[in-house]
Amino acid sequence: MDNEINAIITLLGEQNVKSLKSEIKDIIVERVKSDLKDCDEYLLAPDDLQTLVNEVLQECKEEIKPIIKEKLYAKALSQINI
């Protein structure tokens, strides 16, 4: 299979292969966009998505809060020379 791919790259040229890959990707992306636009159902319901986003944000806040506290505490101590 690798030999066949290398033969195609040699035949088309590396720049043409890159261009071809880009065109194929663009076709797939446009098709997916079109399919989603024409779809009358959500992949994720907006309410479920909002709940998921809120849960992720809360988890991030819980993980980040101690880190920020530690940095602020260290900065305050350095400013008062302790």
pLDDT tens, residue by residue, 46-74: 788 888 899 999 999 999 988 888 888 88
Please give the Cα distance from 51 to 63 (Å, whole number): 19
- Confirm whether pTM is higher than 0.85: no
Please give the Cα distance from 6 to 50 (Å, whole number): 47
For the cut 70, the answer to whether the pLDDT of residue 28 exceeds it is: yes
Instruction: Give the pLDDT mean for 16-31.
Output: 87
| Other C-beta atoms lying within 10 Å of the C-beta of residue 17 | 15
Q: Which candidate, 26, 9, 5, places its Cα nearest to that of 17?
A: 9
Instruction: Give the pLDDT mean for 2-21.
Output: 77
Specify whether the CB–CB gap between 41 and 48 falls below 8 A.
no
Q: Which of 3-17, 38-52, 62-76 holds the top average pLDDT?
A: 62-76
For the cut 70, the answer to whether the pLDDT of residue 33 exceeds it is: yes
Structure tokens at 4: 């066949």
